[in-house]
Amino acid sequence: MRFTPEELEAARDRLVPDVVASGLHVLFCGINPGLMTAVTGHHFARPGNRFWPVLHAAGFTSRRFRPDEQEELPAHGLGITNVVARATARADELTAAEYREGGRLLAEKVARLRPRWLAVAGVTAYRVAFDDKHAAIGPQERTLGDTRIWALPNPSGLNAHWTLQTMAEEYGRLRAAAFATGDPV
């Protein structure tokens, strides 16, 4: 479906409901909704975004889901939220204060929902939201209660130095940890 620039701009600052449930294996966390996501109400809705193909390629789902099938994720032990709730055209429109407040609110959400893993799709967003300047892709030392944290590459098509394959490998490492019967990574 195509939207006009006016329709997309009208979605600026809109909020998109989380796809969550208590006790998920992984709560994926985007940076913030883009305008396409805000217009459709479906997370990672921009056609060039690789979240849905990577989720499948990493083995989280048995087939490639479409953004409009996001409500099926909790049945697979998965959910989606964002660091910052308001929609923008680009993540660089967000302030450091918004990221920090988003990190605070995210910690409250995690305390309430208690997922096994919080997976932040964007290491830079994680660094700012949780004041961890040296964070790298992969599992983090920090926890939120019993919830472990994994910083993932941002699946945006603009993040070109991560290919679909290398991104799927990193997401697959998280999947192995999240669904392991023993101790996580």
pLDDT digits (tens, 9 = 90+) for 115-171: 999 999 999 999 999 999 999 999 999 999 999 999 999 998 777 789 999 999 999
Model's pTM, two decimal places? Answer: 0.94
3-state DSSP assignment of residue 15: strand
Q: What angle do CA 12, 17, 19 make, to 5 degrees?
A: 135
Provide the H-helix boundaries in 5-95: 5-10, 35-40, 51-57
Using alpha carbons, select from 45, 19, 31 the residue that is nearest to residue 154.
31
Report residue 179 as tokens: 């669904």
**CA gap 148, 35 in Å, rounded:** 30
pLDDT of 184 higher than 60? no
Query: Any idea what DSSP says for residue 149?
Result: E
Token look-up 């990493």 returns 58
pLDDT score for 152:
97
pLDDT digits (tens, 9 = 90+) for 46-102: 988 999 999 999 999 999 999 999 999 999 999 999 999 999 998 899 999 999 999
pLDDT score for 2:
86
Using alpha carbons, select from 17, 106, 32 the residue that is nearest to residue 70.
17
Residue 36 and residue 90 in contact, taking contact as beta carbons nearer than 8 Å? no
